[in-house]
Amino acid sequence: MRFNSKLIRPLFTFAMVALGTYAGNLVAQRYFRLIDSYLRGESSWFLWIPQTPTQLSRTDRIWLMAAFLLVGAMLAFVVERLAFIQINRARARWNTMAPAEKLLFFGGVMSGLLLTALIRSILGPPVWLTASLAVLLCYVSVIAFESLKEQVRFYFPSSSQPPKTGLARPCRPKLLDTNVIIDGRIADICRAGFVEGPIYVPRFVLEELQQIADSADSLKRARGRRGLDILNQMQKEMDLEVPDLAVTDAGGEVDARLVAAARQVGGAIITNDYNLNRVAELQGVEVLNINELANALKPVVLPGEEMRVTIIKEGKEKDQGVAYLDDGTMIVVEGAKRMIDQTLDVSVTSVLQTVQGKMIFGKIKETVEPGTNRVDDSIRSYTGSRVRRKVR
Give residue 232's pLDDT: 87
Mean pLDDT of the residues in the chain: 76
Confidence check: pLDDT of 379 > 60: no
My answer on whether 231 and 180 are in the same domain is: yes
Q: What is the pLDDT of residues 140-194, one digit of tens each?
A: 887 887 777 655 555 555 444 444 444 445 578 889 989 889 988 888 888 888 8
My answer on whether 285 and 316 are in the same domain is: no
Average pLDDT over residues 231-246: 76
Q: Give me the CATH number covering residue 209.
A: 3.40.50.1010
Domain of 315? 301-381
My answer on whether 124 and 183 are in the same domain is: no
Higher pLDDT, 56 or 54: 56
My answer on whether 181 and 307 are in the same domain is: no
My answer on whether 321 and 282 are in the same domain is: no
On whether residue 388 sits in a domain, the answer given is no
On whether residue 164 sits in a domain, the answer given is no
Of 158, 183, 200, the domain-final residue: 158
Give residue 225's pLDDT: 92
My answer on whether 151 and 274 are in the same domain is: no
My answer on whether 184 and 259 are in the same domain is: yes
By mean pLDDT, which of 28-37, 131-140, 164-173, 233-242 is the weakest? 164-173
Confidence check: pLDDT of 44 > 70: no
My answer on whether 327 and 230 are in the same domain is: no
Q: What is the pLDDT of residues 274-285, one digit of tens each?
A: 888 888 888 888
The C-alpha atoms of residue 87 and residue 91 are separated, in whole angstroms, by: 6
Q: Which DSSP category does 163 fall into? A: P
Average pLDDT over residues 29-46: 69
My answer on whether 139 and 29 are in the same domain is: yes
Of 296, 324, 354, the domain-final residue: 296
Confidence check: pLDDT of 306 > 70: yes
Give residue 391's pLDDT: 38
On whether residue 118 sits in a domain, the answer given is yes
Average pLDDT over residues 89-115: 78
* Sequence-ordered strand ranges (E) for the chain: 174-176, 199-200, 240-241, 268-271, 287-289, 306-314, 320-324, 330-334, 343-353, 358-364, 380-381
On whether residue 210 sits in a domain, the answer given is yes
Contacts of 247 by beta carbon, 8 Å cutoff, 6+ apart: 202, 204, 257, 260, 261, 264
Contacts of 182 by beta carbon, 8 Å cutoff, 6+ apart: 209, 212, 223, 224, 226, 227, 230
Percent over 70 (pLDDT), the chain: 75
By mean pLDDT, which of 1-15, 209-223, 336-350 is the weakest? 1-15
Confidence check: pLDDT of 93 > 60: yes
My answer on whether 318 and 343 are in the same domain is: yes
The C-alpha atoms of residue 10 and residue 341 are separated, in whole angstroms, by: 62
Q: What is the pLDDT of residues 290-300, one digit of tens each?
A: 888 877 777 77
Confidence check: pLDDT of 286 > 80: yes
On whether residue 165 sits in a domain, the answer given is no
- State the virtual CA torsion across 277, 281, 283, 288 in degrees, nearest 10: 70
On whether residue 163 sits in a domain, the answer given is no
My answer on whether 284 and 220 are in the same domain is: yes
Q: Give me the CATH number covering residue 315.
A: 2.40.50.140
Give residue 141's pLDDT: 82
My answer on whether 141 and 31 are in the same domain is: yes
C-alpha of 184 from chain center:
17
For the beta carbon of residue 29, count every other beta carbon within 10 angstroms.
12
Confidence check: pLDDT of 247 > 70: no
**Per-residue pLDDT band at 123 (split at 50, 70, 90):** confident
Give residue 356's pLDDT: 62
On whether residue 186 sits in a domain, the answer given is yes
By mean pLDDT, which of 121-125, 225-229, 328-332 is the weakest? 121-125
Higher pLDDT, 154 or 129: 129
Q: Where are the alpha helices (DSSP H) in 40-98?
A: 58-95
Of 258, 281, 296, the domain-final residue: 296
By mean pLDDT, which of 66-70, 249-253, 378-382, 387-391 is the weakest? 387-391
| Count of the separate structural domains present in the chain | 3
On whether residue 168 sits in a domain, the answer given is no
Average pLDDT over residues 202-221: 88
